Amino acid sequence: MVNFSLHTLRRVAFVGLAAVLLVDFVLSVRLRAGLGLGVVMLLVFPIAAALVSLVLMPSAAGTLFRSKDLLVPLALVTVAGKLLAWLAAAPGFSAVLTPSFPLRLLNLSFGISLSFLLHIALAVAYATWVTGCILELVRSGNSDPCCVLPPVPGRFRRVLGLEFIGWAVAMTAVVAIFPLMPALGYFALVPMFVFAVAWNFATAAVLPVAWPGEAGFWASFQAGVSVSRAHLRQWWGLLLAQMLLLGLVIFYYHGSGGHGNVTGSVNAFWTGGYEDDCRWYGKLAEALHTSKLPFVETLLSLLFGAFAMAIKIAIVQRLQPEAPPVIPPVAPGGASEDER
């Protein structure tokens, strides 16, 4: 039964992802604009992610490469997210999915819609499922994503709470620092950068540590923070590389002739929940006054989704206790066999 379920998930993921990429490719061809930028993005960032993986987490990258079934949830959530976006744009469904009511947080206001809430639920369900898969893979070597499906519903609320804290703290920091921009200019980006890095460092292991649910919610969250801080030296470079590739700090030159200038920004986000949105693409497309291609967006999302998964595998691997040293048996007479 488990094998049949895995076979079904593989087929749905393959067919669904192929259909999504085909539709995105057709839409991108029709847009035409932005082809050059899209090609550059698809050349530079896969190479950069591959180099980071080979240098900073070769074991985790190899584990993910050998355990391709772990990518099935990523394909499924990509297909589901695209379907939801297409439904929200369809005339018959947009009236239900897109209307929003305003929500204000300090001096920042944004709209909450049914589509937005469904995307959040989808992201949390994915994070719950994949975290369980990674824990099972590292501990037992089993890469079947179906084997962890039974406990996923019971872990959903816990992961929802953890992700809410992760993103709420990051967004609150942005809201608090944003009023300083007119007075401090680019100097206001410094505390935003420092906080974004510190917060991601402090919560890197929260999901895998708190997922099992052996303790209460707050105790599990605090344990995740403590573990993240205690083992930071094992993965800080990997996390920083991920943040930079996703666009934590973006500087680019735009203009023509001698009238161009340099524009920079700091984008605070939380990487603990398998973040896959590359801010570089949007910023560069805006600077070049061109369009983002759906085909390129989907491929970048898949790339950084797999990259985030590999980072979580690396974190869980490095949290595993080291095997005890092998002591050679002692032969009669007190000397070990090796010594003899």
Write out the residue range of the structural domain in which residue 108 sits.
Answer: 2-317
DSSP 334: S
111 versus 192: which is more confidently predicted? Answer: 192
Q: What is the largest CA-CA distance in the chain?
A: 87
Tell me: the pLDDT tens digits for 314-335? 999 999 864 344 445 555 555 5
pLDDT exceeds cutoff 50 at 106:
yes
Q: In this predicted model, what pLDDT tens digit does every residue of 244-271 receive, in sequence order?
A: 999 999 877 665 555 556 677 888 899 9
- Examine residue 253 and state whether it is found in any structural domain, yes or no: yes
In a domain, 52, yes or no: yes
- Position 241 in a domain: yes
Would you say residue 336 lies in a domain? no
- What's the pLDDT at 210? 94
**Is residue 43 in a domain?**
yes
- Is residue 323 a part of any domain in this protein? no
Q: How many separate domains does the chain show? A: 1
**CA atoms in the 13 A half-sphere facing the CB of 185:** 1
What does the pLDDT read at residue 337?
A: 45
In which region does residue 263 sit, left (phi positive, over 0), alpha (psi from -120 to 50) or beta (all else)?
beta
In this structure, is residue 329 part of a structural domain? no
Instruction: With respect to residue 242, please indicate whether it lies within any of the assigned structural domains.
Output: yes
Contacts of range 12-17, beta carbons closer than 8 Å, 24 or more positions apart: 12/76, 12/79, 13/72, 13/75, 13/76, 13/79, 14/75, 16/75, 16/76, 16/79, 17/75, 17/78, 17/79
Reported for 237-242, long-range contacts at CB under 8 A and 24+ positions apart, including other chains, are 237/56, 238/52, 238/56, 238/57, 238/311, 238/314, 239/200, 239/201, 239/204, 239/271, 239/311, 240/197, 241/52, 241/56, 242/52, 242/271, 242/307, 242/308, 242/311
Predicted structure pTM score: 0.88
Q: Which of 92-96, 161-165, 264-268, 281-285 has the lowest mean pLDDT?
A: 92-96
